[in-house]
Amino acid sequence: MKKIDWYILKKFLVTFFFCIFLFTVIAVVIDISEKTDDFAKSGLSAGQVFTQYYLGFIPFIDALLFPLFVFLAVIFFTSKMAGRSEIIAILASGTSYNRFLLPYIIGGSLLSLLLMYSLAFVIPVANVKYTGFQAKYVNVNSSYDPLVANNQHSIYFRIDSFTYAGIRNYDTTSKLGGPFFMQRVKDNQLVYNMRAQTVSWDTSAKKWKLQNVVERNINGLQESVNAKPSLLLNFNFKPSDLNRDAYAKDKLSTPQLQEFIADQELRGTEGLNTLQEEEYRRFATPVSVLLLTLMGAVIASRKVRGGSGAHIAIGFVAGAVFILMDRFSTMFSVKGNFPPLIAAWTPNIVFSFVAIYFYRKTPK
- Average the pLDDT over 25-39 and give the result: 93
pLDDT of res. 144: 41
Is the separation of the CB atoms in 270 and 157 below 8 Å?
Answer: no
**Is the pLDDT reported for residue 147 higher than 50?**
no
The runs of H, that is alpha helices, within the chain are 3-42, 46-49, 55-64, 66-83, 86-92, 97-100, 102-117, 123-133, 146-149, 248-251, 254-267, 272-300, 307-335, 340-361
**Is the pLDDT reported for residue 177 higher than 70?**
yes
pLDDT of res. 364: 77
- Average the pLDDT over 73-82 and give the result: 92
**Is the pLDDT reported for residue 246 higher than 70?**
no
Question: What mean pLDDT, rounded, does the chain reach?
Answer: 87
Break the chain into its structural domains and give their ranges.
Answer: 3-142+272-330+340-361, 151-243
Give residue 150's identity as a one-letter amino acid code: N
264-284: per-residue pLDDT in tens? 787 666 678 888 999 999 999
Is the separation of the CB atoms in 284 and 341 below 8 Å?
Answer: no
The confidence band for 244, taking pLDDT boundaries of 50, 70 and 90, is low
**Is the pLDDT reported for residue 8 higher than 60?**
yes
Compute the distance between CA of residue 80 and CA of residue 176 in angstroms, rounded to an integer: 64
Whether the full predicted model's pTM is greater than 0.85, yes or no, is no
Longest dimension (CA), the chain: 91
205-231: per-residue pLDDT in tens? 889 999 999 999 998 888 899 999 999
43-47, 210-214, 241-245, 260-264: least confident range:
241-245
134-148, 258-272, 299-313, 331-345: least confident range:
134-148
Compute the distance between CA of residue 284 and CA of residue 280 in angstroms, rounded to an integer: 6
| Strand, helix or coil for residue 165 | strand
Compute the distance between CA of residue 21 and CA of residue 19 in angstroms, rounded to an integer: 5
